[in-house]
Amino acid sequence: MSFDDIVERWGRKAAARTTRRTFLGRVGKAAVLVAGGPALATLLVERAEARVCGQSGVAPKCPTFDCTFPDSVWGWCWYASPGCCADGGLKKICDCCTLNYPFVHGYCPSGYNVRCIVESCWADPRVMDKAVLRAGGLSHAQVALAVSRNRPHGSGGHLVIGDADDAKAGAIAGPIASHLAGALLFSGKGRLAGSVIAEAQRLKATHATFVGRFPESHLEELRSYGLTVDTAGTTSLDVARWLIARTGGTQAMCIESTGVSVASAAAAAAAAGQLRVPLVVGIDNARALAARRTWLVGPEATRRAGEVPGAIAVGGGTVEDVAVSLATLVVDRGATGITVHVAPASQSATAVGLSGNGGVVLFHPDGALGNAVYGWILNHRAAIARSVAGGTLGSLGDGGLYDLQSALHQFETHRLQGVPGQGLPVISQPRDERDIGRARIAGDVAPEAKSYWSGRARR
């Protein structure tokens, strides 16, 4: 038997019998390289850098909080020693386990080994009750189609078709889709988009409402597929009156057609849909609508507040600020169970495709969730039911999605602290706290939960 065979046999034997901590101590780097494979070899080149506060092993961090790999389940958690979370929080480190995975056994069920780990400072990181969906696309029409594709096949219902050629005009369709609980789609005026026809057939939709100026041929084409078709109006003022006539409402929301105000169209449309009010474009249209209360969105609109009776300014110097103001307005008015949509600020027009669900739209820096969005979601998570990450250019990658899941579920990864190589002691999770959802969020750990430095956990 060759030296390599001996190393592999003992490496796999140790991986199946021990925790990652005793595994590393007993077998050494050579066995870890065999058991972990080429991917782990890269980690061990800088082994100290793989450790963070309270983690004495080298298991990689999961890219998100999901443990949805094939043949994978959650294992147990363990607790870090004090000081690994800011403000005295209790750090939890949990194993994502894969059947027969070539790595250490960790806190996994029999036959499963550690694939990666997740960490949190508050809630149990294995528990997520707020789904995060993706809706990619390079235009508001593509993003809206991606959102619609999340609807079940054959679920029927309403289609709402807005303007694919102009995101500003398309935004006025968002509140109509929210009112009708319909799938928001967009089409150009030259010909009816094939995606509209395909979704009508996939969903087995029964009604369609056009919002904006479309040729009669578009309506007739959908009628030929057996749908009942109507129009909500050709201008934002017409559409607003159409909606008010059906809801009996006396309120509206208004954006101007320039600057930050029009760039905030997606956030305004989503908020208007959640509040069940129409969205009009232009102060002149807001004045003509003569609603009892009109929210004016963005600096270009608010500076003309004196021209609209009952006007309420929704300020902010950037699209990010305006979106936060609108989201806070929605929650402050008692909304619960909302969808929070996040999209890159640099592609704010594409976010109009997210505006048909109501809820709120928040804008983030390219590729990252950002402190402002993280903080708003964390502070208002009780009102949120789910989240949708939209767009393609500048959209969230795994790191941004990890932060989004953290904010939604109070995992508070922003409180994690410590430096690379700080492999401080960890504490065995008490037996009655090992079930998913039972990990404590604060307080002293039971005396029987010994540190790994004083003895292995019994299982």
Break the chain into its structural domains and give their ranges.
Answer: 3-125+419-433, 132-410
* Residue 23: pLDDT over 80: no
Residue 378 has pLDDT above 80, yes or no: yes
Q: 344: buried, middle or exposed (CB in 10 Å: 19+, 13-18, 0-12)?
A: buried
Yes or no: say if 381 and 408 are a contact pair by the CB < 8 Å rule.
yes
How far is Cα 157 from Cα 316, in angstroms, rounded to an integer? 37
Confidence band for 78, pLDDT divided at 50, 70 and 90:
confident
Confidence category of residue 421, pLDDT binned at 50, 70, 90:
low
What does pLDDT average to over the chain? 86
Nearest one of 303, 343, 339, 294 to 319, comparing CA atoms? 343
246-279 in b/e burial notation, b at 16+ Cβ within 10 A?
A: eeebebbbbbbeeebbbbbbbbbbbbbbbbebbb
User: What pLDDT was estimated at residue 346?
Assistant: 97
128-145 tens-digit pLDDT: 999 999 999 999 999 999
Residue 191 burial (C-beta neighbours within 10 Å; 0-12, 13-18, 19+): exposed
User: For residue 449, what pLDDT is reported?
Assistant: 65
3-state helix, strand, coil in the chain (%, to 5): 40, 20, 40
Mean pLDDT calculated for residue range 205-220 = 97
Q: What is the mean pLDDT of residues 320-342?
A: 98
**In the prediction, which pLDDT does 88 show?**
79
**Structure token pair of residue 320:** 């990010």
Contact 301, 255 (CB under 8 A): yes
**What is residue 194's predicted lDDT score, i.e. its pLDDT?**
97
Q: How many Cβ atoms are within 10 Å of 334's Cβ, its own excluded?
A: 7
Alpha-carbon gap, residue 26 to 14, rounded angstroms: 8
Q: Is the pLDDT of residue 422 over 90?
A: no
Please state, in angstroms and rounded to a whole number, the distance separating the CA atoms of residues 160 and 150. 16
CA–CA separation, 405 and 66 (whole Å): 9
Q: How confident is the model at residue 84 (pLDDT cuts 50, 70, 90)?
A: confident
What CA–CA distance (Å, rounded) separates 168 from 265? 6
In this prediction, residues 50-62 reach a mean pLDDT of 74
Q: How far apart are CA 89 and CA 361, in angstroms?
A: 31
Question: Residue 43 pLDDT more than 80?
Answer: no
**Beta pairing partners, 98:** 72, 113
The answer to whether 137 and 392 have CB atoms below 8 angstroms apart is yes
Rounded average pLDDT over 157-181: 97
Has residue 151 got a pLDDT over 80? yes
Q: Rounded distance, CA 126 to CA 438, Å?
A: 10
For the chain, how big is the Rg over CA atoms in Å? 27
Predicted confidence at residue 22, as pLDDT, reads 33
Q: Is the pLDDT at 364 greater than 50, yes or no?
A: yes
CA pair distance 17, 135, nearest whole angstrom: 43
In the chain, % of residues over pLDDT 70: 84
What letter would DSSP give residue 116?
Answer: E
d(CA 60, CA 46): 13
What's the whole-model pTM score?
Answer: 0.85
Phi and psi torsions of 317, nearest 5°: -85, -10
435's CB contacts (< 8 A; 6+ apart) are: none
**Residue 388 DSSP SS3:** strand
- Report yes or no: 105 and 27 within 8 Å, Cβ to Cβ: no
